[in-house]
């Protein structure tokens, strides 16, 4: 049996050739055009010498070229490596090298950092630039122009014979130790997740219009908005950067019926002074994920817009949807809902014993068709993550007597800032490289709109001097915008346990 994720686009294009698939600004792209461009991009990759199984990195915001390159890569049997567009040059280089990407497709606004990373990695052979003006076919020296390549390419006619367990996408995620790891998601992982969202979870329809302001390089936007809507035959309105007034305007203009967002977006839409100036009466379905939705925000949003926000849970490693509140049953505010059909959850205590009693905290462990096949070339990490054949999430939850799960804590020290995962160890390594720093620790502190904000604690060597502004500016140069600390507290010495480990619980 073969399976390729581009089936999602190919089938909808065959059925709905002239229907609008993508909207950005005043430009609309039909399913037929989108499919043709994807097949041409696959032909362009072959023309560059990219072979099936080789990896293609994307450093693109929510623009049509992301979707073209994403499905075009699948038409070429070339797994896609979506990169956060806020990465700096050294971070880009790490991701390219670690993923064995042979090409990177970058938006012109992020070209400087993409180029800085590309130039450090000999194994990445092709740098492809995407211009904001599609009619501009120029490219910097040593780079290709995506639309120029597409214009010269012969379109691929057939889907390649990829297998369900072949890698389709490598999504990077991090732990509290070490560097980011690439979660290998298969064609079946992603197809199953999108198909489930359409048929069983959301009831998405051809008539639906979705606003895509969640980044498509992230698993939430990629699966729940892009792949789900194209599987249903709906339309996707692209908003490259979430701005509340722009979002409200697009939702009114295009009669958006489906919105997926992180809690900070709902907070902004609910509390915007101009919110009452816009008509959102076509909005029928909303989903939330990324971090816990404050119950009062959910209740007030539901009441204001006469919708039913469904909250769910998942990780990059689970494609991402693993559990959700469901349409045909009463939702439980504050709950991440029930596991998807075919997906198993169990809770384990710190010793690995399975917890059977309700309302008892334990680490969420998952099995199912949505779970990745592993971290790319990380055998030790895979051995740790898949103990006893179950994927261990690091998240702690309880389960009530009806089977609903409630997140209560994170086993890992991960910070969730505005829906983005921030891993303290990565920031701490940057802090330790700052001249004069002898100790550093990073934690998340509560923030009204972002959920959590990044705070650093620093101890300096005797005689060393630094200001908060200097340390923040240094981190800002080394880290993506959502990662660097917004506040720094200096201490003579950080609190430690008997083994010398810094005690973050005392800092909190």
Q: Which long-range contacts (CB under 8 A, 24 or more apart) does 223-226 make?
A: 223/190, 223/193, 223/194, 223/197, 223/319, 223/320, 223/321, 224/197, 224/260, 224/287, 224/289, 224/320, 224/321, 225/258, 225/260, 226/67, 226/70
Nearest to 458 by CA among 477, 435, 482: 435
The three-class DSSP label of residue 38 is helix
Distance between CA 127 and CA 93 in Å, rounded? Answer: 13
Distance between CA 8 and CA 91 in Å, rounded? Answer: 32
Nearest to 152 by CA among 139, 166, 137, 163: 137
Nearest to 455 by CA among 415, 502, 495: 415
Tokens of residue 481, six digits = 């915008």
The three-class DSSP label of residue 276 is helix
Contact 81, 56 (CB under 8 A): yes
Contact 159, 6 (CB under 8 A): yes
Q: What is the pLDDT of residue 176?
A: 45
CB neighbours of residue 179 within 10 Å? 15
Helices assigned H by DSSP within 207-324: 219, 228-232, 244-253, 263-271, 295-305
Length of the chain: 508
pLDDT in tens, the chain (508 residues): 999 999 999 999 999 999 999 999 999 999 999 999 999 999 999 999 999 999 999 999 999 999 999 999 999 999 999 999 989 999 999 999 999 999 999 999 999 999 999 999 999 999 999 999 999 999 999 999 999 999 999 999 999 999 999 999 999 986 545 689 999 999 999 999 999 999 999 999 999 999 999 999 999 999 999 999 999 999 999 999 999 999 999 999 999 999 999 888 898 898 889 999 999 999 999 999 887 787 888 989 999 999 999 999 999 999 999 999 988 888 898 899 999 999 999 999 989 999 999 999 899 999 999 999 999 999 999 999 999 999 999 988 999 999 999 988 666 677 888 888 787 878 987 898 899 888 888 999 988 888 899 999 999 988 999 999 999 999 999 999 999 999 999 999 888 754 456 788 788 8
CA 81 to chain centre: 12
Q: Given 3.40.50.980, 3.30.530.20, 3.40.462.40, 3.10.20.600, which CATH number is that of 7-19+31-186? A: 3.40.50.980
**Parallel/antiparallel/unpaired status of strands 144-145 and 338-339:** unpaired
Give φ, ψ of 20 to 5 degrees.
-70, 125
Distance between CA 351 and CA 67 in Å, rounded? Answer: 44
**Parallel/antiparallel/unpaired status of strands 309-314 and 235-238:** unpaired
Q: Exposed, middle or buried: residue 466 (CB in 10 Å: 0-12, 13-18, 19+)?
A: middle
Distance between CA 303 and CA 308 in Å, rounded? Answer: 9
Give φ, ψ of 257 to 5 degrees.
-110, -20
Domain with CATH 3.40.50.12780 in the chain: 187-410
Q: Using the structure block, give the residue that is written with the tokens 């990324």.
A: 290
Nearest to 2 by CA among 195, 187, 228: 187
Q: What is the pLDDT of residue 245?
A: 96
- Looking at residue 496, the DSSP 8-state letter turns out to be B
The pTM of the full predicted model, rounded to 2 decimals, is 0.86
Number of H helices, E strands in the chain: 16, 26
Domain with CATH 3.40.50.980 in the chain: 7-19+31-186
**Parallel/antiparallel/unpaired status of strands 167-173 and 181-186:** antiparallel
Distance between CA 61 and CA 85 in Å, rounded? Answer: 7
**Parallel/antiparallel/unpaired status of strands 27-30 and 20-24:** antiparallel
Q: Check: CATH 3.40.50.12780 for 187-410?
A: yes
Distance between CA 441 and CA 436 in Å, rounded? Answer: 15
Q: What is the pLDDT of residue 295?
A: 82
Contact 5, 187 (CB under 8 A): yes
Contact 39, 68 (CB under 8 A): no
Q: Given 1.10.600.10, 3.30.300.30, 3.30.930.10, 1.10.10.10, which CATH number is that of 415-507? A: 3.30.300.30
- Looking at residue 502, the DSSP 8-state letter turns out to be B
Q: What is the pLDDT of residue 290?
A: 80
Per residue, the 3-state secondary structure of 377-414, as one string, reads CCHHHHHHHCHHHCEEEEEEEEECCCCCEEEEEECCCC
Q: What is the pLDDT of residue 414?
A: 77
């Amino acid at each position: 049996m073969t399976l390729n994720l581009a089936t999602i686009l190919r089938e909808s294009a065959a059925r709905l050739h002239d229907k609008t698939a993508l909207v950005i600004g005043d430009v609309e792209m039909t399913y037929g055009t989108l499919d043709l461009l994807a097949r041409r991009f696959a032909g362009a990759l072959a023309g560059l010498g990219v072979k099936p199984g080789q990896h293609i990195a994307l450093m693109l915001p929510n623009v049509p070229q992301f979707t073209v390159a994403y499905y075009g890569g699948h038409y070429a049997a070339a797994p896609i490596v979506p990169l956060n567009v806020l990465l700096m040059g050294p971070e880009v280089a790490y991701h390219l090298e670690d993923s064995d990407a042979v090409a990177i497709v970058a938006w012109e606004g992020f070209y400087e950092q993409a180029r800085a990373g590309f130039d450090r990695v000999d194994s990445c052979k092709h740098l492809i630039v995407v211009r904001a003006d599609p009619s501009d076919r120029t490219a910097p020296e040593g780079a290709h122009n995506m639309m120029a390549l597409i214009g010269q390419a012969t379109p691929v006619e057939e889907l390649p014979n990829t297998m369900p367990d072949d890698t389709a996408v490598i999504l990077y995620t991090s732990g509290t130790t070490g560097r980011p790891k690439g979660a290998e998601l298969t064609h079946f992982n992603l197809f199953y997740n999108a198909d489930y969202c359409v048929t069983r979870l959301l009831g998405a329809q051809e008539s639906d219009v979705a606003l895509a302001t969640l980044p498509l390089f992230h698993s939430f936007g990629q699966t729940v908005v892009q792949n789900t809507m194209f599987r249903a035959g709906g339309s996707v309105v692209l908003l490259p950067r979430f701005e509340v007034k722009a979002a409200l305007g697009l939702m009114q203009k295009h009669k958006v019926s489906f919105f997926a967002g992180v809690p900070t977006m709902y907070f902004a839409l609910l509390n915007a002074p101009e919110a009452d100036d816009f008509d959102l009466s076509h909005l029928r379905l909303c989903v939330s994920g990324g971090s816990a939705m404050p119950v009062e925000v959910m209740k007030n949003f539901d009441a204001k817009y006469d919708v039913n926000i469904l909250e769910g849970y998942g990780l990059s490693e689970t494609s991402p949807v693993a559990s959700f509140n469901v349409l045909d049953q009463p939702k439980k505010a504050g709950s991440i809902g029930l596991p998807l059909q075919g997906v198993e959850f169990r809770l384990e205590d710190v010793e690995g014993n399975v917890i059977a009693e309700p309302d008892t905290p334990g680490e969420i462990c998952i099995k199912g068709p949505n779970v990745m096949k592993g971290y790319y070339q990380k055998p030790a990490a895979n051995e740790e993550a898949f103990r006893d054949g179950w994927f261990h999430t690091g998240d702690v939850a309880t389960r009530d007597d009806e089977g609903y799960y409630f997140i209560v804590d994170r086993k890992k020290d991960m910070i969730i800032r505005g829906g983005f995962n921030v891993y303290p160890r990565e920031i701490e390594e940057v802090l330790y490289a700052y001249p004069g720093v002898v100790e550093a620790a990073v934690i998340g502190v509560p923030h009204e709109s972002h959920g959590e904000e990044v705070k650093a604690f620093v101890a300096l060597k005797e005689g060393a001097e630094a200001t908060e502004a200097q340390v923040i500016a240094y981190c800002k140069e080394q880290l993506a915008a959502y990662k660097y600390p917004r506040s720094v507290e200096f201490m003579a010495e950080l609190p430690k346990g008997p083994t010398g480990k810094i005690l973050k619980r005392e800092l909190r």
